[in-house]
Amino acid sequence: MRKLTDEEIEQTWRLIQEYYERYLSEQGVKRISLRKGSQYTKDALVLVYLAQGYPNTRWVSKEELTSFIRLYYPQTPDVQQARHLGPQKGYYVLSTRRGNHVGEFSEELRGESAYKLETLERSHPNYHPERRSVSGGDEFDFIKERYGRRCATCGSLEGERNFRYPNSITQLQKGHRNPRKPLQGDNIIPQCQFCNRADRNYWVYDERGRVVGVASAKVVIRSIEKGYINDEEAVRILEYLDRRLRRRQI
Ligand SMILES: [Zn+2]
């Protein structure tokens, strides 16, 4: 038993992602992250291990899978991920412990816990994605799911290399749609650590993460200074503010 090289992991992961985007995403299968911080997630490692040689996958015993995961997480007592990838997250991972699949595996595996990735084109037959939205996770997790776990502004995928800072792994944070309103409910969009930091409460976004307004005089002033807003436009702003002042609206 050896660790897989980063290249081996990434190669298999890319294949999984291609199938995910083509088939599994629209079936509501939960997206999992390759990394959390600098480490591979257990879910991703299990899926990569089971997907090796896809579509010619094989039965892998729980013992073997646990040995593999312990190469990365030495403290792991017992790998539960393979079981959770199925009915809970939607991946079509067969298990010897699930009665309806008895008969498809060899005699040696009888009585043993083992798993096999059946296909990346269909979700697990016992998976019901709508159940997840009722019981599943916290509010932000639900919001991130709606955005396909991507930064609403730059599209970087959570747990993957950031589009604009490829040496960094994308972390999603709660960003304001409107910085003048509280950070809750519909006012939250997921943003990567870079887009969120660069935001500085300057911008207002629509629900698709597009900028629809500015929330800071600083931006307007700087835009006039830089000529982004030309003199003609600046005069329009002045006249508009002047009218509002006269009507005592400000
Ligand atoms: Zn971003």
Give the model confidence (pLDDT) of 139-198 as tens digits.
Answer: 888 899 889 999 999 999 999 999 999 999 999 999 999 998 888 888 999 999 999 998
Give the structural domain span for 140: 136-215
Which stretch of 7-11, 46-50, 181-185 has the lowest confidence by average pLDDT?
A: 181-185
- 62 lies in the same domain as 149: no
The answer to whether residue 131 is domain-embedded is: no
The rounded Å distance from CA 166 to ligand 1 centre is: 12
- Residue where a domain terminates, one of 123, 150, 179: 123
The rounded Å distance from CA 129 to ligand 1 centre is: 27
The answer to whether residue 130 is domain-embedded is: no
Half-sphere exposure of 176 (CA within 13 A, CB side): 17
Domain count across the chain: 3
- 191 lies in the same domain as 84: no
Q: Which of 88, 85, 72 is nearest to 116 (CA)?
A: 85
The rounded Å distance from CA 211 to ligand 1 centre is: 13
The rounded Å distance from CA 193 to ligand 1 centre is: 7
- 98 lies in the same domain as 181: no
Could you tell me the two tokens for 234? Answer: 């600046």
pLDDT tier at 79, thresholds 50, 70, 90: confident
The rounded Å distance from CA 38 to ligand 1 centre is: 18
The answer to whether residue 207 is domain-embedded is: yes
The rounded Å distance from CA 214 to ligand 1 centre is: 18
pLDDT tier at 101, thresholds 50, 70, 90: low
- 148 lies in the same domain as 103: no
What lies within 8 Å, CB to CB, of 114 at 6+ separation is 59, 60, 61, 62, 95, 96, 105
The rounded Å distance from CA 143 to ligand 1 centre is: 15
What lies within 8 Å, CB to CB, of 155 at 6+ separation is 163
- 206 lies in the same domain as 144: yes
The rounded Å distance from CA 20 to ligand 1 centre is: 22
- Which helix or strand (DSSP H or E) is residue 220 part of? helix 217-226
> Considering the chain, what is the average pLDDT of its residues?
88
The answer to whether residue 232 is domain-embedded is: yes
The answer to whether residue 1 is domain-embedded is: no
- 145 lies in the same domain as 202: yes
